[in-house]
Structure 1
């Protein structure tokens, strides 16, 4: 399956009962996460079905897509490659990646581009399918036992990226994870009625097996550790300043004796 076909399949799957269930959970978490994030420039990469920036109040907000897809009224849509973003380095305050890494041609390069265009202390928010969940297990079993034409429970997106693997990628790029949350603990069911019947498990799952939700949400901050050298330089100047005082005092005493 081509990448464009995978994007279309994901958009169609999000209109199914399990897709809407995940979309609702992610939309609520994203709205709560970005409402109090301030700055000037924010960017969402892909998945226009999820309005990741609708609750944010930054004056400049863009939706970027690198393939044909749905457009949202009133939203500026950019056409660009995610592994070569058309922004200057250190220019954006917030970047949203709703399942963008799973659909990216090169998720490592996409993350490197995100790190490049984010300003120091800028934030990135990532949503992804959790392979260590009942949904991920059913998807993997379907890939092993079914043929290429047999429909899977979830869309045939790229490789699911595990939470701990993603944390390692972020750490290597100098990001510091601020918050992480898992959600959608109901079994992988296709019927809306049965999904509603299992709604009681959400509270139990978040308490007893929190890392086994069908999707995860991660917020990380770009850290530039080299900027601390400015503080070291200031302390060095303060330490060197008292050395000049004894010389001035000695010269004054010598002048007085001469008179």
Structure 2
């Protein structure tokens, strides 16, 4: 499983179809999430945090492919302190990683209590998921990888103390490669939301890190700003 080549696929008509939907969904979700530090894991050429207003926003990847990134790091051992990040977005990060459980555990470690995580992925229970099963080209993107269903992801979240907060499915057209056919199947997007809402090719889910029985006392604004400045120094050292 590797995310290599996925950036190139996103430039194709089918990739643009998926990317445009996911970018709009991210813009809607991250706009109303507040804090000081936000991190995007993988796909650094695309800014899924652009609508967020936190003062410090980082794009982090492991260096396996070309793309703008402020931080290069092993995603299984992120260079951020525990309880230091308010928001983490993971565009297709888990399904293309050999050890997604460890990545998610790291995300839980670095998130503050009540911090948010947003995950996008391909839905195995969709027309695209069916094509992946039948395709002889599973070594090529976007079929390479382990598609995670939303119920399975919800179970993983629950084990780590996350609570699912919001989610959506999208891209109901078949997995065709030509733009003219994607346009012809556009009617399925409107119909899909109404008639088969869980069968979209891709999904986006938002979860919150809960710590039950713990009273959350947030630091003062000056304390959070000092911690945010320290975080900048740490990430700059890692990147050098």
- What's the TM-score once normalised by structure 2's chain length? 0.86
- Is 1:215–2:208 an aligned residue pair? no
Which residue matches 1:185?
A: 172
Aligned counterparts of 1:91 and 1:154: Cα–Cα separation in 2: 33
Aligned counterparts of 1:66 and 1:10: Cα–Cα separation in 2: 14
Q: Where do 1:98-137 residues align within 5 Å?
A: 98-137=91-130
Retained in 2: the 8 A contact 1:139–1:154?
A: no
Retained in 1: the 8 A contact 2:122–2:147?
A: yes
Which residue matches 1:169?
A: 156
| Cα distance change, pair 63–106 in 1 and its aligned pair in 2 (3 A) | same
Retained in 2: the 8 A contact 1:93–1:118?
A: yes
| Cα distance change, pair 151–110 in 1 and its aligned pair in 2 (3 A) | closer
Aligned counterparts of 2:216 and 2:189: Cα–Cα separation in 1: 47
Which residue matches 2:89?
A: 96
- Is 1:70–2:70 an aligned residue pair? no
Q: Which of 42-51 and 212-221 deviates more?
A: 42-51
Which residue matches 1:46?
A: 42
Aligned counterparts of 2:90 and 2:161: Cα–Cα separation in 1: 17
Larger Rg: 1
- Is 1:56–2:52 an aligned residue pair? yes
Aligned counterparts of 1:207 and 1:69: Cα–Cα separation in 2: 38
How many pairs were matched up? 217
Retained in 2: the 8 A contact 1:139–1:152?
A: no
Q: Decide which of 133, 142, 149 is 1:155's aligned counterpart.
A: 142
Shift of 1:187: 1.0
Which residue matches 1:26?
A: 22
Retained in 1: the 8 A contact 2:3–2:97?
A: no
1:155-209 Cα shifts (integer Å, max 9, x gaps)? 3432111110000000111001110100000111111011011111111101110
- What's the TM-score once normalised by structure 1's chain length? 0.80
Query: Quick one: higher RCO (CA 8 Å, sep 6+), 1 or 2?
Result: 2
Shift of 1:228: 4.7
Q: Decide which of 4, 8, 11 is 1:8's aligned counterpart.
A: 4
Structure 1 residue ranges, 4+ long, deviating more than 4 angstroms after superposition: 150-154
Q: Which runs of 5+ in 1 are unaligned?
A: 231-259
1:34-62 Cα shifts (integer Å, max 9, x gaps)? 11211000000001243110111111111
Q: Which runs of 5+ in 2 are unaligned?
A: 218-240
3-state SS in 1 of match to 2:14: helix
